[in-house]
Amino acid sequence: MMLPVMSSMPATAVDLSVDLAGLTLRNPILTASGTSGYGSELAAFLDLGTLGAFVTKSVTVEPRRGNPPPRAVETCSGMLNAIGLANVGLERFLKEKVPYLRTARTVVIVNVAGHRVEDYVAACERLDACDCVRGIELNVSCPNVVDGLDFGTDPQRLHALVTAVRPHVRNAKLIVKLSPNVTDITATATAAVAAGADALSLINTLQGMAINIEAQAPILANRCGGLSGPAIKPVALAMVHRVYTRVARDASVPVIGMGGVTTWQDVVEFLLAGATAVAVGTALFVNPAVPKTLCAGLREYVDRKGLRSVRELIGRLH
Ligand SMILES: Cc1cc2nc3c(=O)[nH]c(=O)nc-3n(C[C@H](O)[C@H](O)[C@H](O)COP(=O)(O)O)c2cc1C
């Protein structure tokens, strides 16, 4: 008996793997830092082996309780958060979280934050010595103790930070996560690349605020927070495209695009704009298994366009 041909059968010939600064990812879908903890939280809903890479929540040298609640609120097509880098701290991360990450059948990227250059250096040095840590992503959207300004909003400050960290990241790939809260993101991208970043990721959240008009008070205890979700996707796409065409492409530095990714069509847009990989964050709160849907849709699209590899989409925008 002839079996009917299933139109929904995956096209096995399609190659979804990408090369991220020498790291081979089985597909271009990553988690965005801070949206799925340290891995085990997401594993209850999604086999981490289906991801191109797992990116952890920001880790700081000292443990942090973060900001008081309320620290997250839903907004039109997105959410605001002011979590305040709550995390277990470097020592507990190494002792309690790394053993689990070691078992994850995917590339592990650890996101690092700090308030002093020395903190970033100390964290990077320890993490780079972990065999399972393949990438270190610097969250530079943190105010430094000297003047309270974010490391990532001033090109010179960012250059100094990346230069200080660079010699301590020898095994892992060094990824610098850019802040969108700047006038010209190509200036900070250029600074990060000049200081030796292996890859760039963008965008982090945009500054925002929500007000309770009855209480006539800010909704977040921290007053302001970071806006994420579909509301920021057009901003993120424009920034990824600018950074790719003006800085990253010529420097052969891959870009990880993120901001509002919810559907496989969003993933395709980011790839066309110049991203080599795409991270999904806020959408995981709606559906933690969404990376699987993104991969399936992407595979079908690549096949339908008559391409062999997803890599052919990167920067293909006419
Ligand atoms: C609740 C929440 C927590 C986050 N925590 C971090 C963090 O710890 N470190 C970091 O670099 N980015 C953090 N981000 C930013 C995301 O990694 C991502 O850059 C941003 O949310 C845009 O992607 P999205 O629209 O898909 O969420 C956080 C975002 C959210 C929503």
Which sign, positive or negative, has the C-alpha torsion 28, 136, 54, 225?
A: negative
- The distance of Cα 241 from the centroid of its chain, to the nearest Å, equals 16
Tell me if 66 sits within 8 A of 127, measured CB to CB: no
Helices and strands (H, E) in the chain, number of each type: 11, 16
Mean pLDDT of 30-55: 97
Q: Which residue has the tokens 């945009």?
A: 206
Per-residue pLDDT band for 12 (boundaries 50, 70, 90) equals low
- Summarised one tens digit per residue, pLDDT across range 55-81 is 999 999 999 999 999 999 999 999 999
Percentage of residues in the chain having pLDDT higher than 90: 93
What's the CA-to-centroid distance between 175 and ligand 1, angstroms?
Answer: 15
- pLDDT score for 3: 46
What's the CA-to-centroid distance between 49 and ligand 1, angstroms?
Answer: 21
Question: What number does the ligand 1 atom closest to the CA of 85 have?
Answer: 8
Query: Which one is predicted more confidently, 132 or 147?
Result: 132
Confirm or reject: Cβ of 258 under 6 Å from ligand 1. yes
Which amino acids are annotated catalytic? Answer: 142
The closest residue, in CA terms, to atom 10 on ligand 1 is: 33
**Taking Cα atoms as reference points, which of 280, 277, 272 lies closest to residue 255?**
277
What's the CA-to-centroid distance between 32 and ligand 1, angstroms?
Answer: 6
Domain ranges across the chain: 18-313
What's the CA-to-centroid distance between 112 and ligand 1, angstroms?
Answer: 13
Topology of 18-313 in CATH?
A: TIM Barrel (3.20.20)
Mutate to test the pocket of ligand 1, among 35, 75, 83, 177 (most ligand atoms within 8 A of CB): 35
C-alpha distances in Å from residue 255, one per residue of 144, 198, 247, 270, 294: 25, 9, 10, 10, 18
- pLDDT score for 144: 78
- pLDDT above 80 for 4: no
- pLDDT above 60 for 5: no
Question: What number does the ligand 1 atom closest to the CA of 258 have?
Answer: 23
- pLDDT above 50 for 149: yes
End-to-end alpha carbon distance in the chain: 47
Complete edge-to-edge strand list for the sheet that includes strand 206-209: 72-75, 78-81, 224-228, 206-209
The CA-CA-CA angle for residues 150, 154, 159, to 5°, reads 105
- Summarised one tens digit per residue, pLDDT across range 272-293 is 999 999 999 999 999 999 999 9
H-type alpha helices, 79-154: 90-92, 98-103, 117-128
- pLDDT above 90 for 183: yes
Mean pLDDT of 28-41: 97
Exposed, middle or buried by CB within 10 Å (0-12, 13-18, 19+), for 309?
middle
* CA 20/CA 267 separation, integer angstroms: 16
- pLDDT above 80 for 132: yes
The CA-CA-CA angle for residues 223, 225, 227, to 5°, reads 140
C-alpha distances in Å from residue 182, one per residue of 38, 42, 99, 188, 260: 29, 32, 37, 9, 19
* CA 300/CA 9 separation, integer angstroms: 9
Per-residue pLDDT band for 148 (boundaries 50, 70, 90) equals confident
- Summarised one tens digit per residue, pLDDT across range 80-93 is 999 999 999 999 99
